[in-house]
Structure 1
Amino acid sequence: MTVPGRALRDAGVTFYPPATPEALQALEARLEFSLPVELQALYLDRNGEQESWEPVLLARLQTLDELNATLDEMDEYLLAEAPALRGLFVPLWTDDNGNFFVYFLHGAERGMIGWTHHESPCFIAPHYRDMAGLYLALLEAYQQGAFDLVQEFTGDAGIGKRETQVFEAHLAAYASTLDAPLRQYHGAYLLTLCPPGREGDLLPLLHDRELAVLTGALLARRNCQWALKALTDAVREHALDSTLAYNLLGAITTLDAPETDEALLGLAHGYPVTLSAAFLADALERRGFVQERPRNAQNRFDHARIKVDTEPGGWLLLPWQ
């Protein structure tokens, strides 16, 4: 078996001596399943890779001791709150900043490599088809002194038959669970592996607070102008969350559908009195409408008004607290 990553050693990265079969058996006993053959081969080739700074190695294979410590941490901060994620992946590679590349263990995605960030630990998006793809990206970045890795799955390209099968499986799983961490986990696959032409399957994600912003960004990036109504409905739904409203309004103006002005004006009528009303006013201004922000008796801004000739007095008022 060809073990990926040996070119890194030739390029100067230090590999630790191979792991012992006994250490691998201890890991399997902890995980309660047998490691895939390619993972056994990886650790029998080297028990981890050493951190490197000049040039930088953007992610490295953990030693088995480090991996066990990482699993201890995940047991405390992630799997205790999201037990349904247990056994779905193993976090083999670290960037030494609390973030990991993981190896997916089951289903059509078995053998793919995903990325989890400590700020969104349940959003584990697939980045590479296999370990070879990860190591190719690591080697390229190492040799070029880059600080970003080239991904195989960009959200818009690289989607083939296998990736479509993974998408289908997670679409069904997302629809059938009410567990919030699991929905975020499945949503990561959907947003990363959505085949062109299947964006309509993502509209339910606009109702999900954890996934709405990324969904809106994807719809705008792919120029899904037909999604304008769904996006405006999502803005109204999330109006009390100013961060979500701001980003969804940004997606709407980026989309630049023919009916955008009418949709935003319709949204403005009866919009909740919140800080996000200011963002709605800004969105209308980006569309070419004149915005004014009068001051109240305390000399503070508390509303905006948008010049609309068809409104009474020629102005549409958008108050906020």
Structure 2
Amino acid sequence: MTLNAWILRFGELGLKSKSVRKSFQRSLRKNMLELAQKREITLFHHVSGTQDHVSSSDSVDVVEDLLSRVIGVVAIDRVVKLDCGLIPEDIAQDVINSSENVGEKRTFGVRVKRVSKTGEINSREYERRIGAEMISLDSQLSVNLTKPDEWVKLIVDNDDLFQIKYRIQACGGLPPGVQGDVLIQLSDENLMLEAFLVMRRGVRLIPVLDSKVEFIEQLSNYDPFIGKRTLEHEMRGHAFDRPAWGIMGLTVEEAEPFIGKREEAVKTTPISTLSPLEGWTKEEKKSLLEHFIKPSKYEMHPDIGSWVY
């Protein structure tokens, strides 16, 4: 059985404190494994240092489509384990042997990241020696560290060596369920897209009233626990269904029976009405829909410059 491997890249999660980050990562992993089980994909997960690694014997395209829908993951690096040892010159030989462009005139750059300290040389020395040896093995190579034709990206992890072959963009954000619950009446495609944006902020959506099954099913490809109330824990150890803090697609009066406010709650805040697509153009909504359908193929904001003033 041949296993393909990937490394998950987090963005916003990395800005959280250590305790919050661990809690959010647990939620993310739980969501990911539940999504895999739902789609009958065999997924193996392990943590190496600060990195989350996953592997699978299933189709690369199928697994990457799944991983690109794990909210909280910014990108997925497809990696290959190299069995050439950790000597820079041997690594260069292995990289050249596996290249499809040997003998063709091209530029390259080398980047090495060490997850743990290995050997007596640092990452910069690794890069220099690997690059020098590659040039000696293929005279058509020249260095360009700004915008090369080929990047050689390597990860040294204890006694293991991985080469990043391909990066897939994911949807980023925070894992659903870590920032409370929002009630929604999913009545049209526009609301589905608004729901997706809110999910990326860590919200667990609770569809109510006349929510359409087709939209719930599409959103469940990102949050397998959609509709399941999150829990809040008191200091005494008791756990309760967390009351909803926001609504979408319905009025406060319509939402009242579903909010779940506890009578003994001392402090409450007003219910917020969310409308995250306010101000978006038709083209921006079209790009968002394309990203929602195929997150690994389309960016959410192709023209990110238009959002910068």
Q: Which structure's relative contact order is higher, taking Cα pairs within 8 Å and 6+ residues apart?
A: 2
Give TM class, smaller chain: under 0.3
Q: Which structure shows the higher strand fraction?
A: 2
| TM score, norm. by length of structure 2 | 0.23
| TM score, norm. by length of structure 1 | 0.22
Q: Which structure shows the higher helix fraction?
A: 1
